[in-house]
């Protein structure tokens, strides 16, 4: 048995894999594969509508917000956000907490002034900046809720005096958030929502249409909203599998239930990291991510040996990002706590071997 702690494409529930696999062969008794069905059929339009309903239900999205499914990943949103919200001569505020936040800052600078209100870059992004002010003369404030590469997470969001935008790619649906506190949320699907290929955007309608810039159609939120996520051919399969996965989450009891499961998984692994003399965490304790747990060995020379030791016992995907090294155990929604217990047992076995 494999235990998938990979940080990129998400682990999905086995029942979702089975349903998706069947739909590839034949979808819903149509005689067609989900890969070849027209996105303009009433049946598939209902898939998009149902996926939107599930997003709204699971996240308690209030009235006055649109939900759309786009392409290009969160990386395209780094540009779409400023192209829709940051007008000529205006300023946006950004919090720099990791590689993806830094990439978002780089893209925003193409469209206007960017004020970086706080950064932990000089300390290798090992903590979340705390003491910063959000300028009231900026048109929006952007933050990244969870930092996959360095293993930090915003456990509380600031009270922003201006519209707040958040990249929630790696922890959306993993914990409860108050959508009304944000004006725009975006997230690549491939962590807790579904397979890569679709990007979720939740946007407060009243913040759109306030700049004079001419926006290319494919970059205009309003056009995608009017087209009900089908201005162009949507990522049919990715949306369909996301629907299956969100149905699975809803049947479990929704976000409040999965949040408690995720907390239990994270506590179990952090407890072993802090207890085991061979390992140590890399981030400020108060900012540790519950999704991406980063750690190293006290003796770096043992890292390759431990990686093979773990892989031989079915552990997949724990090698740390190349910019950080060490290990990263990503514990997205579908990862069972039994897999965490296996990893903990392996860490203990390895420590006994080197006692």
Which of 191, 204, 265, 319 is catalytic? The answer is 191
Instruction: Please identify which of the residues 100, 171, 287, 319 carries the catalytic annotation.
Output: 100
100 is catalytic: yes
- SS3 state of residue 279: strand
Q: Which residue has the tokens 């339009």?
A: 45
CA separation for the pair 349, 355 (Å, rounded): 10
As given in the structure block, the two tokens for residue 187 are 């997230």
Are β-strands 113-119 and 91-96 bridged in parallel, bridged antiparallel, or unpaired? Answer: parallel
Please identify which of the residues 27, 96, 167, 204 carries the catalytic annotation: 167
DSSP state of 122: G
Q: What tokens appear for 185 in the block?
A: 């949320």
| Whether 270 contacts 288, CB under 8 Å | yes
**What's the chain's length in residues?**
355
Contact 91, 112 (CB under 8 A): yes
* C-beta separation of 117 from 94 below 8 A: yes
Of the candidates 91, 51, 40, 62, the one whose C-alpha atom is nearest the C-alpha of residue 233 is: 40
The answer to whether residue 191 is catalytic is yes
Residue pair 342/3 in contact (Cβ under 8 Å)? The answer is yes
Per the rule left: phi > 0, alpha: psi between -120 and 50, beta: everything else, 336 is beta
167 included as an active-site residue: yes
CA dihedral 78, 187, 225, 157 (to 10 degrees): -90
Is 148 in a helix, a strand, or coil? coil
Active site residues: 100, 167, 191
């Amino acid at each position: 048995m494999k235990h998938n702690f990979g940080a990129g494409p998400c682990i999905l529930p086995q029942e979702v894999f089975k349903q998706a696999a069947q739909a590839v062969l034949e979808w819903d008794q149509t005689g067609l594969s989900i890969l070849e069905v027209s996105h303009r059929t009433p049946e598939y339009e209902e898939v998009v509508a149902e996926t939107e309903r599930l997003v709204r239900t699971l996240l308690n999205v209030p009235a006055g917000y649109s939900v759309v499914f786009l392409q290009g990943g969160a990386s395209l949103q780094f540009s779409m956000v400023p192209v829709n919200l940051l007008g000529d001569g205006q300023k946006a505020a950004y919090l720099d907490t990791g590689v993806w936040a830094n990439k978002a800052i780089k893209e925003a600078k193409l469209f206007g002034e960017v004020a970086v209100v706080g950064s932990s870059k000089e300390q290798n992004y090992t903590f979340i900046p705390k003491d910063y002010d959000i300028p009231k003369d900026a048109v929006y404030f952007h933050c990244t809720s969870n930092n996959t590469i360095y293993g930090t997470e915003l456990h509380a969001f600031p009270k922003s005096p201006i519209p707040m935008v958040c990249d929630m790619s790696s922890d959306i649906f993993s914990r409860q958030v108050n959508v009304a506190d944000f004006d725009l949320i975006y997230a690549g699907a491939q962590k807790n929502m579904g397979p890569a290929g679709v990007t979720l955007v939740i946007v407060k309608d009243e913040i759109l249409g306030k700049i004079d810039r001419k926006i290319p159609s494919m970059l205009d939120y309003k056009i995608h909203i009017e087209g009900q996520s089908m201005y162009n051919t949507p990522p049919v399969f990715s949306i369909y599998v996301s629907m299956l996965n969100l149905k699975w989450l809803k049947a479990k009891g929704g976000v409040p239930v999965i949040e408690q499961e995720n907390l239990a998984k994270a506590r179990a692994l952090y407890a072993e990291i802090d207890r085991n003399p061979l390992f140590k965490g890399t981030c400020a304790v108060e900012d540790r991510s519950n999704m991406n747990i980063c750690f190293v060995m006290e003796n770096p020379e043992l890292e390759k040996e431990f990686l093979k030791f773990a892989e031989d016992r079915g552990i997949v995907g724990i090698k740390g990002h190349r910019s950080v090294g060490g290990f990263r155990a990503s514990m997205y929604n579908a990862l069972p706590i039994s897999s965490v217990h296996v990893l903990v047992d392996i860490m203990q076995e390895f420590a006994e071997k080197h006692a």
